[in-house]
């Protein structure tokens, strides 16, 4: 996957960021989605791969932020990794998730489907880390514990994708 730089007017960037936040996603996800739609890519496998690649990227970036001691950014990257993995499974099934509520309901469904309570336990760590990005109140060890839970969630969900 090749990286490119995109230059957008500040106003457009703000609107895209608001949309991404309202959908429980990231700016990068919104841009990926826009490109897939522009190219009329409907293949669930391609859409799932897009989310999977973002999840892997966010986990790598999370580790980099942890190493630098930037726990707020590490928290947000961990959230991104978890949410992208959930969206990858949904995409593979031909579904699109467009809000935090839809993310939570789909995780509940996965928990029931897999009969695995830890799916929701690990997911709640991701949710807590997402909040920490805005509040920055979690101590370092709690962020690290939460990140470990997100890694476990991603690995469990990777097995089904």
Mind listing the pLDDT tens digit for each residue in 100-156? Answer: 999 999 999 999 999 999 999 999 999 999 999 999 999 999 999 999 999 999 999
In a domain, 2, yes or no: no
Residue 85, domain extent? 10-160
Number of Cβ within 10 Å of residue 77's Cβ equals: 26
**pLDDT digit string (tens) for 148-161?**
999 999 999 999 88
Among 8, 122, 1, residue whose Cα is nearest residue 20: 8
In a domain, 4, yes or no: no
In a domain, 5, yes or no: no
Task: Give the DSSP letter of residue 75.
Answer: H
Instruction: Give the global pTM.
Output: 0.92
In a domain, 52, yes or no: yes
On whether the CB atoms of residues 78 and 58 are closer than 8 A, the answer is yes
Q: Is 47 exposed, middle or buried (0-12, 13-18, 19+ CB in 10 A)?
A: buried
Q: How many domains does the chain have?
A: 1
In a domain, 78, yes or no: yes
| CATH assignment at residue 127 | 1.20.120.330
């Amino acid at each position: 996957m090749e990286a490119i730089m995109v230059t957008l007017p500040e106003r457009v960037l703000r609107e895209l960021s608001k949309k991404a936040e309202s959908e429980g996603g990231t700016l990068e996800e919104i841009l990926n989605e826009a490109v897939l739609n522009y190219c009329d890519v409907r293949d669930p496998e391609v859409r799932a791969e897009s989310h999977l690649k973002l999840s892997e990227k966010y986990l790598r970036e999370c580790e980099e932020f942890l190493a630098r001691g930037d726990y707020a950014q590490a928290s947000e990257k961990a959230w991104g990794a978890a949410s992208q993995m959930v969206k990858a499974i949904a995409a593979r099934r031909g579904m699109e998730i467009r809000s935090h509520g839809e993310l939570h309901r789909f995780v509940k469904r996965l928990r029931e489907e897999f009969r695995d309570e830890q799916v929701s336990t690990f997911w709640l760590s991701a949710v807590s880390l997402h909040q920490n990005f805005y509040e920055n109140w979690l101590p370092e060890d709690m962020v690290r514990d939460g990140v470990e839970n997100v890694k476990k969630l991603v690995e469990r969900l990777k097995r089904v994708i």
